[in-house]
Amino acid sequence: MVLRQPDLGPAILTATATAVTVIGISLGHADDAAAEHWLHDVVGVADQPGLVACTHLVRTPRPHVAISLAAPDGLPDLPATPADLVPAAELAADEHRAGRSGRAVRYPGVDRLVGTLTVAELLELSAIEQVIMLGGAQPDEDTLLVTRDFVRPQWINGVLTLITTPVGPGRIGPFELPDPTPCCADKH
């Protein structure tokens, strides 16, 4: 396990910081891609300093993707969550606030995570606090990480964590692919 040292890089925004506003919103997005599209193109969160925006797979009242947003300086005006989806929005906000779950789409430093970096550089450049490998192996700080320009860490036990997998000799990459092959794509 690699953890960020306290003296490296900018301060990390956490959902438990005292001056951070955390909200949930649920509009019934069918998948992560639709929720990300809404965040980027409709809400325009890309320019919000210190923002951490996460997607959450929820089952209430039906399976869909809810969103949580946290920022130190408040948040933009957002549409109201429909009444039947309010419990899902509340759950997303609670999970983000506690650091129990949430797939981070926007977070400090995400725009700098392009190309190939070392694990140490990734930790220094972004709000990601920990890098682990699928299955429990712990990469060294000098391990090369191929970002594929798509880095989606998750809240795990209060720590913003990137889960990785081997992508070649001496290299790792984010476990989540930017454009995964849909299930059964070869069957149609």
Average pLDDT, the chain: 85
Q: Quick check: 16 pLDDT over 50?
A: no
Q: Quick check: 177 pLDDT over 50?
A: yes
In whole angstroms, give the CA distance from residue 129 to residue 145.
15
3 state SS for the chain:
CEECCCCCCCCCCCCCCCCCEEEEEEEEECCHHHHHHHHHHHHCHHHCCCCEEEEEEECCCCCEEEEEEEECCCCCCCCCCCHHHHHHHHHHHHHHHHCCCCEEEECCCHHHCCCEEEHHHHHHHCCCCEEEECCCCCCCCCCEEECCCCCCCEEECCEEEEEEEEEECCEEEECCCCCCCCCCHHHC
Cβ atoms of 61 and 88 within 8 Å: the answer is yes
Q: Quick check: 84 pLDDT over 50?
A: yes
pLDDT digits (tens, 9 = 90+) for 91-105: 999 999 999 999 999
pLDDT digits (tens, 9 = 90+) for 136-167: 788 999 999 999 999 999 999 999 999 999 99
The whole-number average pLDDT for the span 54-76 is: 92
The whole-number average pLDDT for the span 10-15 is: 34
pLDDT digits (tens, 9 = 90+) for 106-132: 999 999 999 999 999 999 999 999 999
Q: What is the pLDDT of residue 179?
A: 72
Any idea where the domains of the chain sit in the sequence?
A: 21-106, 109-174
Strand-strand pairing, 130-133 and 159-168: parallel
